[in-house]
């Protein structure tokens, strides 16, 4: 399957969930993912990057220099997608700034970003063992506003 915005092939995996027979609908939604969804993913990933840089006081070459949200795509490798029912796709990605933890991006429909963060095995009824503060899909604008000065200083 081709991943939107990157035009690269990614694996479709079917582990972690009981099949509903409607997973093909969620995968078809990927072709209609919106530009606003792409922007939210970029901003959530950028916020995750800034938060990581701040938390461990990282500097290059320990972390890549990413100065704008739309530049995250150069520093993320999308490995696979997993459809869960007719509406939900979970993307497995490896960001250069957090290779040990990796990422899941949970997308509902064509425009709803539910989760960006550490791989935790998202299920249709919610996360397993997650605290909301680890979800970069929430409050990313505030994090960016607070920390965007960090990579600008390098």
Identify the pLDDT of residue 42: 98
Q: Are 56 and 100 in contact (CB under 8 A)?
A: no
The whole-model pTM stands at: 0.90
Would the pLDDT of 125 be above 60?
A: no
Nearest CA-CA partner of 23 in 78, 76, 70, 84: 84
* Average pLDDT of the residues of the chain: 89
Q: Tell me how far apart the alpha carbons of residues 14 and 42 are, in angstroms, rounded to a whole number.
A: 25
Percent of the chain with pLDDT over 90: 66
3-state SS assignment for residue 41: helix
Q: Are 118 and 78 in contact (CB under 8 A)?
A: no
């Amino acid at each position: 399957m081709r991943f939107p915005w990157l035009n690269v092939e990614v694996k479709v995996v079917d582990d972690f969930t009981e099949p509903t027979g409607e997973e093909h609908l969620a995968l078809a939604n990927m072709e209609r993912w919106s530009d606003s969804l792409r922007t939210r993913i970029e901003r959530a990933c950028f916020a995750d990057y800034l938060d990581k840089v701040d938390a461990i006081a990282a500097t290059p070459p320990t972390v890549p220099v990413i100065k704008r949200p739309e530049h995250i795509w150069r520093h993320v490798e999308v490995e696979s997608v997993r459809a869960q029912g007719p509406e939900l796709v979970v993307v497995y990605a490896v960001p250069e700034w957090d290779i040990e933890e990796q990422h899941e991006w949970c997308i509902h429909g064509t425009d709803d970003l539910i989760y960006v963060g550490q791989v935790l095995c998202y299920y249709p009824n919610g996360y397993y063992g997650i605290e909301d503060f680890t979800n970069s899909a929430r409050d990313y604008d505030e994090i960016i506003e607070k920390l965007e000065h960090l990579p600008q200083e390098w």
